[in-house]
Amino acid sequence: MTDVSYVYHKQGRLYLSIIKDLYDNSILAYNLSKFNDNQLVFENLDLVFRKDWDKSKSCLLHSDQGFQYTNKQYHKKLETFNVTVSHSRKGNCYDNACCENFFSHLKSESLELFVPENETELMQQIDDFITWYNFDRPQLKLKGMTPIEYRQTYL
């Protein structure tokens, strides 16, 4: 699952693109940019779907119907990796609730409590939060395990 959200620091904002694995709730990749554009999303895709990606296996990537996810370039890029594109229904935010849930945790548990001074601090704080979220934050849905513990236990 993938989505984009804005994240603030005291001098402005950036856009955060994430790719979340629904198997274990881990954040597989993320990217920050001053612009909410195709490049933000495409660079994030490149972090997951690299040249060594096993194209013989199928994969589904779900998103909302944002302009970055509905254009032909996005579909072509994912097609080269044997990734099936899935979109939310128009006007239905619940279809992308898993990403929205992560953004809510990031903002309420970190960025709103300790507002970063600038872009550099914002990037570091997001990096620290995602590392903590993946490796140290237990989740009830995962039987009280962290995403990485869950993956290692069940894969």
Res 55: pLDDT: 80
What separation in angstroms does the CA of 150 have from each of 21, 70, 97, 136? 12, 32, 21, 11
Count of alpha carbons within 13 Å of 12, Cβ hemisphere only? Answer: 9
Mean per-residue pLDDT, 43-50: 92
pLDDT of residue 95: 74
Does this model's pTM top 0.75? My answer is yes
pLDDT digits 0-9 by tens, 98-144: 999 999 999 999 999 999 999 999 999 999 999 999 999 999 999 99
pLDDT for 50 equals: 84
Reading the block at residue 15, the tokens are 């856009």
**Beta carbons within 10 angstroms of residue 18's beta carbon:** 21
- pLDDT category of residue 93 using cuts at 50, 70 and 90: low
